[in-house]
Each structure stands twice: as structure tokens, then as C-alpha cells.
């Protein structure tokens, strides 16, 4: 019973959203507003159950973690954002999260985004037993990376053999990459539609398995 | 006090965390472990900002009877109903275990279908845009569209049926030219992120302070 | 300008020398030297040698005299940690027959009660007889504390046969620098150094060259056309928050666009998604009208907050496009799925469209539907170029220098790779090793 | 009526007709069902083979790092990996990077343990086998034997038991999850003292054997945002934890560099990636049938063809109608 009602309600709201394709209407507007309220309400419960209660209140009331008052108070400063005269106090917790996050991120980004990628770009063009299309692929990969980097190089005009031709090849490679992204994006959007149709035809109407 | 202290917090915090990475010593670990304990607590309160501004926006709408103000109730009621049902009256609808409460019903059978459907609207828009806006206006746009068509055909079973070269070419584009483009972008973005990290830590970039008075 | 280019190979060499030495360091770390190995103290070894202790819950079985126990245990401090790990090596039993696994027990020296022994590791008999103790969060190793170890061979019937107790002579200690992170430190310092070098240069007022970005010309031209047609201009600053780099860049460009518009006396429409971005955007446009000397022609209603719901925002902006028929649409900033719907409607309304974002997944849609697109970093660079803030230009320069280093290294690798192929050498591996950062700490 | 007007009329067709077209194209193949075969790629095989090598002593993480918006793509991936792990008796930890991901984890588990699902696993809640735990029976085989010898019969259609706290544990969501990953490299329990039911996880056999991420063999992140990268930056780069990606089609192309550099063991991209995994599961006899992703691929074929036709027709109308001659900007590309 619970499941049946649930699926009917779900199907109703699914169709409510699709009605937007025909025309904007009150049912769509209702669905749109509901989702904003529910998702934030859900997050509130979750944060309370997973952080505020077990990591702040319980240790505090257990009495041996008084130090946790500091992050608690720092967090409460967010509220000052709503009192214009002391709104600047809300910058403190933001600064704490922002600064430490930036600091932690720096070496790790350097490692994952730069050094690892640099290392992986240094591959031999040919190793014994490689089919021709892989060798050709490696050539495209190395020269393509270089050319695309030239395209994003702002200190020199895109003229001459190196910068001119390089950036031109670069933009071609970038366009091939974007073409792939385009194709995959189309695939992704269709997949989401497929998911909904499976829900409507299968879970709701039982027309398909 | 209003600008200097936050900027100092950012700088001290940032440098401390950066240096900490290179020091394996136990003192540095103690700082780090404390930080791991504190950060989620501070971060959790950020939710107040979201809840607060949403409540303010919609109560204003209701009070001023602005256009479509009735719908604001559809935001406010579940916003405060969810915690009410989850924490204070977590009773079950279907009997038995706690998974079948009102709170879970709202999430599983309203939130999930609506959000999934919202995104699937894009499938319709992509079809429409394919016909009305995706133009091979220039050489570059033409390459892009050609690559897209090959990849699109290569990714679905019918590509295999049309000819083995289709999926193979699609995969080749993905594995080599696409990789080169994405790696170059990644390196560029990586440097961009690193530079932004530094600019924020050293107070060159201060936009994040904005919006709370001078 | 010339000096910058000379500094790059110099920096390269700088990068290589220490990393080479670091590579040697890390090799040395792997081979233990004598003074780091502790002397092993045997303690009533003979007494416990044959003593068998049944595991809890198991019936007492006849001790199997054939089951051998492991030999000498050596303990070393593991380098590059907080003093909470020890490397424990033991000699496996000479006769491994009938041994299922080895149970490793540890206790603090001086604690004598029987429950002082903690089972810290179970090693199957066929696995290497070296392990790192201290990963188990339940039985952590305290820095500066001396421990004793003993290992039991467990038979297939789950009976334990204890070997002798060995005391470690050294305690775990934390180090003040992680030697395997040298390369990362060098790369990081090099980056910070370059960025600050260009910051300094920019602040001293050195004029720095940035290549003209074609998008800027397109922007001016598009504004001119809107003026000719007497139609408004739509500026969408993306749907992200103020902390997004793309949003910041977009607001800088908005300033420039608004100034031109104020000069030409055209109308601008800026619908906003984020409340904070809205307040900043309003300031930016007001300021631009002021700078253009026409503060009186600023229209209060031109910058406004629309809604904070993705699809409602799109519907709102689409409505503006169909009603007001702007001659030019700017989409600059961070975009998500809505980019497609915006650009499609705009293209249908016949407007000139200029887009710019660092959201890679949305770029293909902009490229196929818009007249001009700023790709990724071009957006940042354009804003630095237009914003005339010296440090921002300095940062772009610094990043370019780093890209140059990366490009030279990849080129060098390419050359060495070909050399390896032709001359059958192994120079590429050597170069790769220089930039390889170890994963496991 | 001139020729140009026909093209113009065609281009300005009410888009609701196109909406209707894509709607029909996406529904009809479901009702007919071609079941066209799908070939597998090395990117997905990489993950499959990795999980296939794992046994009862090993553990994996499945990160439900997506919101309901992308569940159509991400959910089949997570479900496929979960079924693979349950089949091999590999322990499964479930976490969520985004708040709404916790709900996704719950519904994935519900799906795999739902009697309506073909080849489902019968779930035994943590409190239901407390006696066995207290008697010290925590080994997977012993537990099943003891459980069945006490009169518990595997329901018809089920392919095995899964014990909460032994075969799986649902940890859920925490804010600033990248820091949670960092914290779990030292100890999982300090980050998640209790599971989502509120059971203390420290007493669970699964936790006693896998106390930190160092004791975990693989983390599969199913993600609809850049959340997956955090597993690399904070998990892989810190302790070398092997990572596998299950990402939406929109993001899939961005992460090919990570595959080539060896930072991830493999990647499932979009519905196609999930379908490949389902095919691998079936081919290797781990499941009897393929699942939702595979069924969806027929529709995917039809829809792709339809969209390509639209692009081609649109461009023909555009060029034949002479719209391309309305040059707009000099600096255009």
C-alpha cells in the first residue's frame, strides 16, 4: 500500500514536470517549489543527525570536550549575516573554511592536476607490439597536448610557425575533444529521460519489466 | 576587525595547512586531526545561511502578496515539515520499521521523482536545439559536430551494427585527441586553481568578502 | 620581456638538480643502514619457546610439537611519519608445515599483565614477513614509547604456539620533513615563486604583454550593433556564487560592457540568479555609469534578482528574450544544464550571442549556437585584460610561465623518447622519474 | 511563397512537435525491445576485473556521490558493482558525498535486496543476528552455515544472504566530505561513529577487519559532479587507494586523462558504461539477466539516430535557406 501510493504520487509529479514542455502551469510551479523546500529540509535533518548531534552536542554534554565550543561558536557566527549591523562577523567562519581549504588543496592539486598529468604525458611513442593506430594515437596525444597548451598561452601573439600553427592545431584538437563531450552529453541527457520512462512504464504502469 | 581579521584567518589557516602537508611530525598531525574534527562542525552551520535566506525570501513574498505568493507555502511547509517529521514525530506510515516515515515518503516519492524529471527535460531541449540551433557555421563548429556524431553513434549498440569502424573511431577520438584536449585544459585549470588558491590566501582576491558591508 | 624567457630554462635546471638529489635520497631511505636497526634483546626466549597457548573458545588440543615458531624480530622506525608507525620484520619459521598464519602481539615495555599483549596483526603464512605496525587505529603506536613484540604460529586447528619476546630498542619518532615530498615542495615553491615574481613586476608598473583576445573586439562590435538597432543588450552573469572564479571574471567584464553601454546610451538588462552576485552586479553597473560620466542615465530596473531556481531562472530569461528582443546576448560566467536552453532561444530570436565559461561540458553547446565563445581560461584572461588590475595580469603571466615549463618538459620527453627508440637508451625513464611523486606515504 | 520561406517555416516549427518526436522515439523501443548486443571496452573491464579478483577478506567502498537528478545514469552502476561484490562476498561500505546521496544509497540497497528484483539478496539486519555475533561467529561462511542450520531458509528467488555489519554497512553522508575521506585514511570509525541506523560501527565485524581506508581494496565513486575527483585528490594521492569512476555521460570525457595516467583503474561512462558492466556480470555468470541500463540502450540508439537526423535536417534548412549569409560579426569563428 505504502509503495503503491508512493509510486502514484511520484508519477503524478513526474507528469507535472513534463507538463512544462507544453506550457508553464500551476501544477508545474507547485512541483518546482516543493522540491526546493524538501531538499533543504532533508539536508537540515541530515546535518543535524550526522554532525551537530554526534560530533558537537553529544561530546559537549558528555562533558569532556569543552574545546568543541570554539568551532560551535564560530559556526554560529553565520547567523550574524541576517543582522546587517554585525553581518561582517559571518566572514570569520567563511574565512576559516576558505583559508584552510585553500591550504589543504594546494599541494594536492599540484600533485593530481599538474605533476601526475605531466608524468602521464611523457610516454614513449612506440613500444614493441603496438598497433599502428595506438602509435598514431600517441603522436596525436603528445602533439595535441602541446598544441592545446599553446592555444591557452597568453603571453605571445598567435603568429608565426610555432605559436600560429601550434594554436591552430590546438583549437582543432580542442574541438575534437568538445565534439566527444557533446556526444556524451547528448547520451547523458537521453539516459535521464530513459530512467524516467522506465519509472513511468515499469514501476507505475507495469507495461514493461 | 571587519576585513583584516578575516583576511588574517585565511592567510594563517592557508599557510598552516600548506606547511602541515610537508611535516609528518606528531605535533603537525595533532593540529591536522583537530582541524578534521572542527571543520565539519563549522561547515554544518553554513546551512543556516541557506535556510535563513530562503525563509526570508518567501515570508516576504507571502507578506507582500507578491506574484505567485501562494507557492511560497509549498517551499516553507516542507522545509520545516521535514525536520519536524524526522526528529519529533518520526512515526511510520506503513507500519514496521522507521524507513517508512513521512520524512522518507516526501524524499523518496516527491523529491526524487521531481529532481530526476527536471534533468530529463534536457533530453527534449537537446532535440529541439539539435534542429534549431546546432549549426556547422564554421570549420571548427563542423569538426565539433562531426566528432559528436561519430561518438554518438559509436556509443550506442546500433553503431556496432552499422559498422565496427564507427565505435572504434569513436573510442579512438575519446582516448587520444579528447585526452590531449582535456589534459591541456586540466593543466591550465590546475594552474588557474593553484593561482586562485594563492590569491585568496594572500588576500589578492577579496571578492568572497563581498555582500556583508564594508 | 626577454628576461622572463631566460628565467624559464634556469628555473628548469633548478627544478632538476634538487629532484635528482631527492631521487637519490629516497633510494638511500630504502636500504636500511646499521644504526637505524635496533639491537634485539631476547628475553627468556627458551622459556616461552615451547609454550603453547590455546586460542580463546577453543578446546585444548594436544600440542603439536612439530609446529615451528618464527625467529628473530627486528623493529625499525618508519621514516616520514608522525612517529606512529614501526616497520616490523621477523624471520619466518624454518619449518612452515602446518602453520596457518602468524599472530603478532605487541605490548608496552614494562607492562606485565597478561592482557597487556595486543594482537596487532595477523599475517598468512605465505605472505611477506615484514609489515608496518601502527595502521590499526585501535592499537596506535605512541611516539617515544618502547614496545615488545612476540609472534605466535597458529596451526590449522587454531592453536597458537608462541615464539620468544623481543624488545625494540628504538621507539617510533616523528620527523619534521617528509623526504619523499621534496619534488612536490620544489614544484610548489617554483609556482609560488613565479606567481609572486610577476605580482611584483606588475606592481612595479612594468607593462606586460597579453595577446589580444578576439572576444574583446567582438564585444565592442556587438554593443555597437545593438545601438544601431536601438535594441537592448542582455547580460547573463551565470548561475553560480560569488566564490566562483568564472563569476568574478564575468563581473569584471560586465563593468567594461556597462561602461560602453553607458557611453552609447543603450539599455542593458542583467537578470541575476544569486542574491549576493546581484548586489555586486548592481554596484558594478552603477560604478560603470558613473565612470562614463552619465550617472543620471542609470536605470534602477536594469539589474535585478530573478529567482534562485535553475529552471525558473531559464524560463524568466527566455521570457525577456522573447518580449524585449535584445540585439545582443552575453552569457559569461558559470553555466550548467541551462546553457543549452538559453542559447537556443537566443539563437532563435536572432540575437548576436557571445558566450564564455570554464564549464567544459557546456562549451560545445555555446560553440555550436553562439557567434563567439571564450573558451575556459580565455575568460579569465579576458577579464584580467579588461580589468586592468596589475596583479591579475601578473597571475596570468605566472601561469603562462608554468605552462612553458610543462611544455618544455613534455617536448624534452618527446625528444628523449625518440632517442631511446633510435639509440636503445633509457633516458625517458630517467626524466619521468624526475617528475614522479610517490603515491604511498 | 518563395523557397526561402519554406525553409524558414521549417526552422521555426513549434518545438513542441520535436518534443513529441523525442517522446515517441524514447517510448516505442521499450515496447518492442530489440536487445541489440553491446561490446565492452577496456575502461569498464578494468573495474570489473579488479572487483572480480576480490574475495571475502577484501572490502570496497561504493560512493553514492550523486543526487536524484542523475540517478538514471549513476544508480545502475552502483547497483551492478554492489551485486558483483555481494556475489564475491566482498564487504561493501556505502557513503555519500552529497546530502541527497544517502537516500540514493538506501534505495540502491533496497533494490538489490528487494524480492521483486531478479537474483536478489536476502538482507539480515544488524540486530537480527546479534546472537551469532556474540557467540563469535563472524566469518562469512560460518555465519551463513550457522544461520541456515537454525532454520532460516533462503527465500525462493534469492541468491544469497547479506548480513548488515558483515557484508555491508551504510555509513551515509557528512558535510565537507573531502575531509572525511582524508580522515578515513586514518580511521573510519572516528569519522562515522555510527551507521545510518544509529548502530555503533566499532563493534561491527566489517569494521574490525577494515579499520581504515588502508584496509580497503577499492573505492568506486558513482558521481554526477566533480565529487569523484576528491576521491583521487584525497584518497588516492594520500594512501594509494585504488579508485574507479562511475560518472555521468556529461562528465565522462573529462576523465580520460586519469585513466591513461593510471590514477583510476577504470571508468563507467553514462548509461553505456553501466550497461557494459551488466553485460560483463551476465557473461561471467554472476547475474542471470542484465538490468535496467542494458534495456535502456535500445532507446539510446533510437534517440541518438533521431537527434543526428535533426542536426542534419536543421543544417540543411539553414544552408539551403541562405541564413548563413547573414554574416554577423567579423571576429566570429
Contacts of D236 in chain C (CB under 8 A): 439
Q: Are residues C64 and C123 in the same domain?
A: yes
Residue C7 neighbours by CB under 8 Å, 6+ apart? C197, C401
Nearest CA in chain C to D137: C57
Q: How far is A62 from chain B (nearest CA, A)?
A: 16
Tell me whether residue C255 is in a domain.
yes
Across the interface, do C404 and A153 touch by the CB < 8 Å criterion? yes
Q: Are residues C364 and C346 in the same domain?
A: yes
The answer to whether the Cα torsion of A25, A28, A34, A35 is positive or negative is negative
| Predicted local distance difference test score (pLDDT) of residue B173 | 95
Of B21, B118, B204, the CB nearest to C311: B118
Across the interface, do D324 and B167 touch by the CB < 8 Å criterion? no
pLDDT of C37 > 70? The answer is no
- Asked if B129 and C365 count as a contact pair (C-beta separation under 8 A), the reply is yes
| Predicted local distance difference test score (pLDDT) of residue D38 | 92
Tell me whether residue C172 is in a domain.
no
pLDDT of D328 > 80? The answer is no
Tell me whether residue A170 is in a domain.
yes
| Predicted local distance difference test score (pLDDT) of residue B74 | 92
Tell me whether residue A38 is in a domain.
no
Tell me whether residue B38 is in a domain.
yes
Tell me whether residue C299 is in a domain.
yes
Q: Are residues C275 and C410 in the same domain?
A: no
Of D69, D236, D270, the CB nearest to A184: D270
Tell me whether residue B158 is in a domain.
no
In our burial notation (b when 16+ CB lie closer than 10 A, e otherwise), range A162-189 reads ebeebbebbbbbbbbbbbbbbbbbbbbb
Tell me whether residue B62 is in a domain.
yes
**Total number of domains constituting chain A:** 1
| pLDDT tens readout for residues B130-152 | 998 898 988 999 999 999 999 99
Q: Residue B26: give the domain boundaries.
A: 1-89
Q: Considering chain C, what is the average pLDDT of its residues?
A: 81
pLDDT of C301 > 80? The answer is yes
Question: Where would I find the H helices in B3-111?
Answer: 4-20, 26-64, 71-83, 102-106
Tell me whether residue B36 is in a domain.
yes
pLDDT of D82 > 70? The answer is yes
Mean pLDDT across the stretch A26-53?
Answer: 89
Q: Are residues C235 and C101 in the same domain?
A: no
Q: Considering chain D, what is the average pLDDT of its residues?
A: 90
Task: Give the pairing type, strands D267-269 and C86-90.
Answer: unpaired
Per residue, the 3-state secondary structure of D168-194, as one string, reads EEEEEECCCHHHHHHHHCCCHHHHCCE
- List, in sequence order, every residue forming a beta bridge with D172; answer none if it has no partner: D95
**Hey, what's the cell of A198?**
522506465
Which architecture does CATH list for D39-290? 3-Layer(aba) Sandwich (3.40)
**Total number of domains constituting chain B:** 1
Q: Are residues C240 and C384 in the same domain?
A: yes
Q: Are residues C320 and C420 in the same domain?
A: no
Q: Residue A129: give the domain boundaries.
A: 123-209
- List, in sequence order, every residue forming a beta bridge with B115; answer none if it has no partner: none
Q: Are residues C371 and C301 in the same domain?
A: yes
| Predicted local distance difference test score (pLDDT) of residue D94 | 97
| pLDDT tens readout for residues D246-298 | 999 989 999 999 999 999 999 999 999 999 999 999 999 999 999 999 999 99
Cα separation, B148 vs D48, in Å, equals 28
Tell me whether residue A115 is in a domain.
no
Q: Are residues C60 and C106 in the same domain?
A: yes
Tell me whether residue C310 is in a domain.
yes
Tell me whether residue C118 is in a domain.
yes
Higher pLDDT, C191 or C158: C191
Q: Are residues C160 and C227 in the same domain?
A: no
The CATH number assigned to the domain holding C51 equals: 2.60.40.10
Tell me whether residue B106 is in a domain.
no
Across the interface, do A196 and B120 touch by the CB < 8 Å criterion? yes
Cα separation, A17 vs D173, in Å, equals 28
Q: Residue C135: give the domain boundaries.
A: 39-167
Confidence of residue C160 (pLDDT cuts 50, 70, 90): confident
Please name which of C325, C332, C295, C298 lies closest in space to residue C216, comparing C-alpha atoms: C332
Of B134, B185, B199, the CB nearest to C368: B134
Higher pLDDT, C11 or C369: C369
Tell me whether residue B18 is in a domain.
yes
| pLDDT tens readout for residues D21-43 | 999 999 999 888 778 899 999 99
Of A4-13, A154-163, D2-11, D162-171, the range with the lowest mean pLDDT is D2-11
| Predicted local distance difference test score (pLDDT) of residue C441 | 56
Mean pLDDT across the stretch A128-141?
Answer: 91
The distance in angstroms from the start CA to the end CA of chain B is 11
In our burial notation (b when 16+ CB lie closer than 10 A, e otherwise), range D10-49 reads bbeeebeebbebbbebbbebbeeeeebebeebebbebbbe
Q: How far is D144 from chain C (nearest CA, A)?
A: 20
Of A115, A118, A155, the CB nearest to C400: A155
Q: Are residues C18 and C99 in the same domain?
A: no
Touching subunits for chain B (3+ Cβ pairs under 8 A): A, C, D
Touching subunits for chain D (3+ Cβ pairs under 8 A): A, B, C
Nearest CA in chain C to B128: C344
Confidence of residue C46 (pLDDT cuts 50, 70, 90): very low
Amino acid at each position: 500500500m505504502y509503495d503503491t501510493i508512493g509510486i502514484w504520487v511520484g508519477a503524478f509529479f513526474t507528469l507535472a514536470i513534463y507538463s512544462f514542455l507544453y506550457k508553464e502551469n500551476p501544477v508545474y510551479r507547485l512541483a518546482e517549489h516543493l522540491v526546493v523546500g524538501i531538499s533543504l529540509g532533508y539536508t537540515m535533518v541530515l546535518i543535524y543527525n550526522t554532525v551537530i548531534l554526534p560530533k558537537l552536542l553529544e561530546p559537549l554534554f558528555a562533558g569532556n570536550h569543552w574545546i568543541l565550543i570554539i568551532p560551535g561558536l564560530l559556526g554560529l557566527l553565520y547567523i550574524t549575516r541576517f543582522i546587517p549591523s554585525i553581518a561582517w562577523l559571518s566572514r570569520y567562519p567563511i574565512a576559516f573554511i576558505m583559508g584552510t581549504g585553500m591550504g589543504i588543496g594546494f599541494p594536492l592539486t599540484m600533485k593530481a592536476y599538474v605533476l601526475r598529468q605531466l608524468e602521464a604525458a611523457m610516454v614513449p611513442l612506440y613500444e614493441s607490439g603496438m598497433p599502428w593506430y595506438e602509435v598514431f594515437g600517441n603522436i596525436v596525444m603528445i602533439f595535441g597536448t602541446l598544441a592545446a597548451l599553446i592555444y591557452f598561452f597568453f603571453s605571445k601573439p598567435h603568429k608565426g610557425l610555432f605559436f600560429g600553427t601550434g594554436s591552430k592545431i590546438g583549437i582543432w584538437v580542442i574541438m575534437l575533444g568538445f565534439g566527444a563531450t557533446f556526444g556524451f552529453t547528448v547520451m547523458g541527457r537521453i539516459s535521464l529521460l530513459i530512467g524516467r520512462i522506465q519509472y513511468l512504464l515499469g514501476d507505475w504502469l507495469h507495461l514493461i519489466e | 576587525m571587519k576585513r583584516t581579521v578575516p583576511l588574517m584567518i585565511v592567510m594563517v589557516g592557508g599557510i598552516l595547512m600548506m606547511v602541515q602537508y610537508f611535516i609528518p611530525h606528531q605535533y603537525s598531525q595533532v593540529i591536522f586531526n583537530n582541524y578534521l574534527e572542527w571543520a565539519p562542525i563549522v561547515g554544518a552551520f553554513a546551512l543556516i545561511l541557506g535556510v535563513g535566506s530562503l525563509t526570508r525570501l518567501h515570508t516576504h513574498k507571502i507578506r507582500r502578496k507578491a506574484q505567485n505568493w501562494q507557492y511560497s507555502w509549498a517551499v516553507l511547509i516542507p522545509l520545516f515539515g521535514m525536520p519536524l517529521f524526522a526528529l519529533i514525530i518520526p512515526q511510520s506510515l506503513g507500519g514496521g520499521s522507521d524507513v517508512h516515515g513521512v520524512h522518507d515518503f516526501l524524499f523518496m516519492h516527491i523529491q526524487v521523482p521531481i529532481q530526476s524529471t527536471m534533468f530529463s527535460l534536457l533530453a527534449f531541449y537537446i532535440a529541439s536545439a539539435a534542429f534549431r540551433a546546432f549549426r556547422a557555421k564554421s570549420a571548427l563548429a563542423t569538426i565539433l559536430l562531426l566528432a559528436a556524431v561519430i561518438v554518438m553513434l559509436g556509443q550506442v549498440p546500433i553503431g556496432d551494427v552499422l559498422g565496427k569502424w564507427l565505435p572504434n573511431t569513436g573510442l579512438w577520438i575519446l582516448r587520444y585527441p579528447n585526452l590531449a584536449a582535456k589534459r591541456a585544459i586540466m593543466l591550465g585549470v590546475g594552474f588557474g586553481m593553484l593561482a586562485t588558491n594563492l590569491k585568496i590566501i594572500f588576500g589578492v582576491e577579496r571578492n568572497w568578502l563581498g555582500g556583508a558591508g564594508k | 620581456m626577454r628576461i622572463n624567457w631566460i628565467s624559464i630554462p634556469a628555473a628548469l635546471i633548478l627544478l632538476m638538480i634538487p629532484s635528482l638529489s631527492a631521487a637519490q635520497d629516497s633510494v638511500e631511505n630504502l636500504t636500511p643502514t646499521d644504526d637505524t636497526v635496533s639491537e634485539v634483546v631476547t628475553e627468556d626466549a627458551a622459556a616461552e619457546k615451547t609454550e603453547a597457548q590455546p586460542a580463546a573458545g577453543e578446546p585444548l588440543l594436544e600440542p603439536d610439537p612439530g609446529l615451528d615458531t618464527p625467529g628473530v624480530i627486528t623493529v625499525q622506525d618508519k621514516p616520514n611519519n608522525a612517529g606512529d608507525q614501526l616497520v616490523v620484520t621477523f624471520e619466518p619459521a624454518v619449518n612452515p608445515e602446518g602453520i596457518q598464519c602468524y599472530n603478532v602481539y605487541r605490548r608496552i615495555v614494562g607492562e606485565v599483565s597478561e592482557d597487556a599483549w595486543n594482537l596487532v596483526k595477523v599475517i598468512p603464512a605465505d605472505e611477506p614477513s615484514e609489515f608496518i605496525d601502527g595502521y590499526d587505529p585501535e592499537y596506535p603506536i605512541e611516539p617515544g614509547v618502547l614496545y615488545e613484540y612476540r609472534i605466535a604460529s597458529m596451526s590449522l586447528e587454531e592453536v597458537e604456539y608462541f615464539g620468544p619476546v623481543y624488545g625494540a630498542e628504538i621507539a617510533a619518532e616523528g620527523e619534521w620533513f617528509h623526504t619523499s615530498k621534496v619534488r612536490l615542495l620544489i614544484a610548489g615553491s617554483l609556482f609560488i615563486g613565479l606567481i609572486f615574481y610577476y605580482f611584483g613586476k606588475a606592481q612595479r608598473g612594468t607593462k606586460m604583454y597579453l595577446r589580444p583576445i578576439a572576444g574583446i573586439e567582438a564585444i565592442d562590435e556587438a554593443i555597437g550593433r545593438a545601438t544601431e538597432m536601438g535594441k537592448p543588450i542582455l547580460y547573463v552573469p551565470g548561475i553560480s556564487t560569488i566564490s566562483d572564479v568564472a563569476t568574478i571574471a564575468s563581473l569584471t567584464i560586465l563593468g567594461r560592457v556597462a561602461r560602453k553601454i553607458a557611453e552609447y546610451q543603450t539599455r542593458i538588462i542583467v537578470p541575476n540568479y544569486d542574491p549576493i552576485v546581484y548586489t555586486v552586479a548592481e554596484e558594478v553597473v552603477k560604478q560603470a555609469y558613473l565612470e562614463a560620466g552619465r550617472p543620471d542615465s542609470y536605470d534602477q530596473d536594469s539589474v535585478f534578482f530573478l529567482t534562485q531556481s535553475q529552471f525558473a531562472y531559464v524560463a524568466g530569461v527566455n521570457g525577456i528574450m522573447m518580449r524585449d528582443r535584445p540585439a545582443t546576448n552575453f552569457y559569461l560566467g558559470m553555466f550548467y544544464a541551462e546553457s543549452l536552453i538559453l542559447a537556443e532561444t537566443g539563437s532563435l530570436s536572432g540575437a548576436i550571442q557571445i558566450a564564455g565559461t570554464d564549464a567544459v561540458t557546456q562549451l560545445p553547446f555555446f560553440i555550436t549556437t553562439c557567434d563567439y565563445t571564450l573558451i575556459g581560461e580565455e575568460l579569465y584572461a579576458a577579464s584580467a585584460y579588461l580589468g586592468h588590475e596589475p596583479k591579475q595580469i601578473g597571475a596570468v603571466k605566472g601561469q603562462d610561465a608554468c605552462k612553458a615549463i610543462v611544455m618544455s618538459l613534455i617536448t624534452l620527453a618527446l625528444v628523449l623518447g625518440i632517442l631511446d627508440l633510435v639509440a636503445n637508451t633509457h633516458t625517458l625513464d630517467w626524466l619521468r622519474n624526475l617528475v614522479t611523486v610517490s603515491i604511498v606515504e | 511563397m518563395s523557397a526561402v520561406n519554406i525553409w524558414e517555416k521549417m526552422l521555426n516549427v513549434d518545438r513542441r512537435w520535436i518534443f513529441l518526436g523525442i517522446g515517441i522515439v524514447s517510448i516505442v523501443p521499450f515496447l518492442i525491445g530489440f536487445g541489440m548486443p553491446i561490446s565492452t571496452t577496456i575502461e569498464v573491464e578494468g573495474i570489473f576485473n579488479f572487483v572480480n579478483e576480490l574475495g571475502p577478506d577484501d572490502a570496497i567502498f561504493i560512493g553514492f556521490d550523486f543526487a536524484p537528478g542523475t540517478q538514471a545514469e549513476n544508480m545502475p552502476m552502483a547497483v551492478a558493482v554492489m551485486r558483483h561484490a555481494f556475489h564475491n562476498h566482498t564487504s561493501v561500505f556505502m557513503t555519500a558525498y552529497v546530502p541527497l546521496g544517502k537516500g540514493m544509497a538506501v534505495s540502491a540497497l533496497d533494490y538489490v535486496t528487494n524480492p521483486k528484483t531478479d537474483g536478489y539478496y536476502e538482507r539480515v539486519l544488524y540486530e537480527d543476528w546479534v546472537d551469532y555475533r556474540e557467540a563469535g561467529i563472524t566469518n562469512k561462511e560460518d555465519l551463513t552455515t550457522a544461520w541456515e542450520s537454525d532454520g532460516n531458509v533462503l527465500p525462493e528467488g534469492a541468491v544469497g544472504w547479506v548480513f548488515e555489519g558483515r557484508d555491508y554497512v551504510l555509513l551515509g553522508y557528512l558535510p565537507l566530505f573531502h575531509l572525511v575521506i582524508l580522515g578515513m585514511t586514518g580511521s573510519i570509525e572516528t569519522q562515522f561513529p555510527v551507521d545510518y541506523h544509529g548502530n555503533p560501527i566499532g563493534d561491527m565485524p566489517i569494521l574490525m577487519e577494515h579499520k581504515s581506508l588502508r584496509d580497503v581494496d577499492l573505492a568506486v565513486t558513482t558521481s554526477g559532479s566533480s565529487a569523484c575527483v576528491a576521491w583521487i585528490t584525497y584518497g588516492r594521492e594520500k594512501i594509494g587507494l585504488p579508485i574507479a569512476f562511475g560518472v555521468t555521460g556529461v562528465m565522462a570525457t573529462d576523465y580520460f586523462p586519469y585513466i591513461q595516467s593510471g590514477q583510476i583503474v577504470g571508468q563507467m561512462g553514462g548509461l553505456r558504461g553501466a550497461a557494459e558492466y551488466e553485460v560483463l556480470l551476465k557473461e561471467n555468470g554472476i547475474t542471470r539477466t542484465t538490468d535496467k541500463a542494458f534495456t535502456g540502450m535500445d532507446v539510446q540508439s533510437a534517440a541518438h539516430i533521431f537527434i543526428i537526423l535533426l542536426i542534419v535536417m536543421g543544417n540543411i534548412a539553414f544552408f539551403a535557406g541562405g541564413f548563413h549569409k547573414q554574416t554577423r560579426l567579423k571576429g566570429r569563428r
